[in-house]
Amino acid sequence: MKFLTKFVDYNDPKSFGSRIREKRSYIIKDMICDVFEKKGSVNIIDIGGRKTYWNTIGEEFLTEKKCKITLLNLENIDCPNDSEIFKFQYGDACQIPFSDKFFHIAHSNSVIEHVGNMEDMLKFSKETQRIAKSYYVQTPNFWFPFEPHFMFPFFHWLPKPLRIKMIQNFNLGHIEKSNNLIDAIIKIESANLLTSKEIKNLFTDGKQIREKVFGITKSITAIRKEDENCNCS
What tens digit of pLDDT does each residue of 184-215 get? 999 999 999 999 999 999 999 999 999 998 89
pLDDT recorded at residue 25: 87
* DSSP tag of 92: B
* DSSP tag of 141: B
Spatial contact of 45 and 98, defined as CB atoms under 8 Å apart: yes
pLDDT recorded at residue 11: 56
As a whole number of angstroms, the distance between CA 164 and CA 182 comes to: 9
Q: How confident is the model at residue 3 (pLDDT cuts 50, 70, 90)?
A: very low
- Is beta strand 207-213 parallel, antiparallel or unpaired with respect to 216-224? antiparallel
pLDDT recorded at residue 23: 74
pLDDT recorded at residue 174: 84
What is the CB neighbour count within 10 angstroms for residue 45?
26
pLDDT recorded at residue 229: 43
Burial of 102 per CB tally in 10 Å (0-12, 13-18, 19+):
middle
As a whole number of angstroms, the distance between CA 192 and CA 156 comes to: 8
As a whole number of angstroms, the distance between CA 132 and CA 228 comes to: 16
Spatial contact of 209 and 215, defined as CB atoms under 8 Å apart: no
- Is beta strand 86-90 parallel, antiparallel or unpaired with respect to 132-140? unpaired
Residues 6+ positions from 109 with CB-CB distance below 8 Å:
46, 48, 49, 53, 138
Q: What is the model's pTM?
A: 0.86
Q: How confident is the model at residue 78 (pLDDT cuts 50, 70, 90)?
A: confident
Average pLDDT score, the chain: 89
**For residue 223, is it left (φ>0), alpha (ψ between -120 and 50) or beta?**
beta
The amino acid sitting at 189 is E
Spatial contact of 183 and 196, defined as CB atoms under 8 Å apart: no
What tens digit of pLDDT does each residue of 171-181 get? 998 899 999 99
| Higher per-residue pLDDT: 44 or 79 | 44
